[in-house]
Chain A
């Protein structure tokens, strides 16, 4: 709204030449930036619809498919590993995010209550773990020690709570007026009722944002899977992608053609890009929540 007001204002007054140049340069720069951001993606999409041999003999960026064909997609769709990976990743994302949210909400609820003896101890314990960790090997040994090695739960249970996300939820809960909770208590509501029926609905934007953060991090994660998952049937999508895109070998041990790699990228990225426009409006709110905390 303010920018509209400013625009109207500037129309009334004669815009000085220097400013006009500035505006034009700004527009040009932003268009250039968008082009630079989109070019690699256009290349990937164009490559995925190209003929394999034609692509091999070509060099430089593609803006349009060479000898358009959907052959690459046919072999991606026929690749069982990708679908197994998809299934595993969906399981991890859905179950993982639900459990993450359950634990984070409960933890944030307890940490944001007012008077009890261990409050500052609990808070210190939680925050300290954000800034100091045992590192890779001890973490690996612990996960192995509790029997999660080679299990898909190794990608869910050890990462139940991200302390930064927890702090966002805790901050939001601290902002809920105490009177609501007190009156609920008088009506005989227990902690779980207060948490899920009263507080959670009031801080829904923060809850949505944190759920989004958890879901995206599960979707993207590959490192822990590389450490803990040995059975190919349990590989999450990103680990399959790593083989195809980075290690460039598959079951059969042959090098994948670039066009198939591109088609794989498209197939593996489209879902999250389809969700993106719908969740975009939450970003700014969520980041603001984080920024308030500073």
Chain B
């Protein structure tokens, strides 16, 4: 074993003295079967991941389907300048940020709290039941979830009635009220994902050494002290990683769900960058080049966010994404 790897290492060193062409030839002779195996995967990535990236050039053109990419006129930064002057831009940025931040502030911690509460349950059966029930909504498709939401917040819906009884809110179809949109989105998001997202914290909690608790109890620490000084500090690494991953995906708000819930009445609060990309691409005032420019802007912002968060993870001495 060790002799093989030493010989291997010798070969590698030797290869660095070889001319590049010879090295490529040797590598190909040795690994051509591996490359052949990867060929379909390579084609897949080139066609469905990288060709669309190349297709971003149409954001610098006035793309006409009949003329194709080669024949369409080049217009430079026109669409980007138009986008920065788009009267909807402030609204799009505000809504995207509001929804992304609300998810971060409400949905994200809810799963941590749930994991802590499940962990403190005394009955094992109870803990298993809570887990089973709280995972269920994750398996209900987004279309169905939105169908249920529509029903519950309609004029005669259960949530509308409950809000009326509890807080005296007017009986209306809540989906037509712009100001209710984000709360509806967030609450249903928590309903869908709280259980599922708590799994990762629960698995981190099972890894905590029980002797820590024993020792703390001997020292007279009560339940509250134990949670504050043992459980939460042990969860911090997981929380930090999940938080950074979440921040990196912040701009990638759930536009599919928004599209199923919003109406022109609620665009004021519900329209985000990605839904606008869709509408300008396929629904209203269609302009492929403009829509691509907006999407390009969004992709770049997302990428920069991921890049920064990855830098932070690396600096924290922990895992990094690449």
Chain A residues near B (Cβ < 8 Å)? 2-7, 9-10, 13, 16, 18-19, 22-23, 26-27, 29-30, 33-34, 36-41, 43-44, 47, 58-62, 103, 106-107, 109-110, 113, 115-118, 122, 124-127, 129, 131-143, 145-146, 157-161, 179, 190-192, 216, 219-220, 222-223, 227, 238, 241-242, 244-246, 258, 261-262, 265, 268-269, 272-273, 276-277, 280, 283-284, 287-288, 290-291, 293-294
Contact = CB atoms under 8 A, between A and B. Distances in A.
Contacts of B303: 131-132
List 7 tightest A-B contacts by C-beta distance, closest first: A134-B52, A138-B55, A245-B147, A135-B295, A61-B158, A294-B319, A59-B156
Interface string B87-127: 00000000000000000000000000010011011111011
Main secondary structure of the interface of B (DSSP, over half): helix
Contact of B117 (A29, A126, A227, A272): A29
Contacts of A288: 200, 203
Contacts of A126: 45
Given A29-B117, A110-B38, A269 B140 contact: yes
A106 B144 contact: no
Contact of A157 (B48, B132, B133): B48
Interface in B163-189: none
A124 B132 CA distance: 38
Contact of A273 (B136, B195, B274): B136
B130 A106 contact: no
A40 B302 contact: no
Max chain A CB contacts within 10 Å: which of B127, B223, B277?
A: B223
Contacts of A41: 136
A2 B231 CA distance: 14
Interface residues of B, number: 106
A106 B151 contact: no
A261 B151 contact: yes
Given A44-B148, A220-B141, A246-B150, A161 B41 contact: yes
Given A4-B124, A135-B52, 7 more contacts: A18-B223, A27-B121, A30-B121, A110-B37, A160-B48, A241-B141, A294-B319
Contact of B260 (A139, A242, A269, A284): A242
Nearest to A21: B223
11 contacts: A23-B122, A38-B133, A60-B157, A62-B158, A106-B41, A125-B50, A134-B56, A135-B277, A139-B52, A269-B140, A276-B139
Contact of B146 (A3, A30, A246): A246
A135 B299 contact: yes
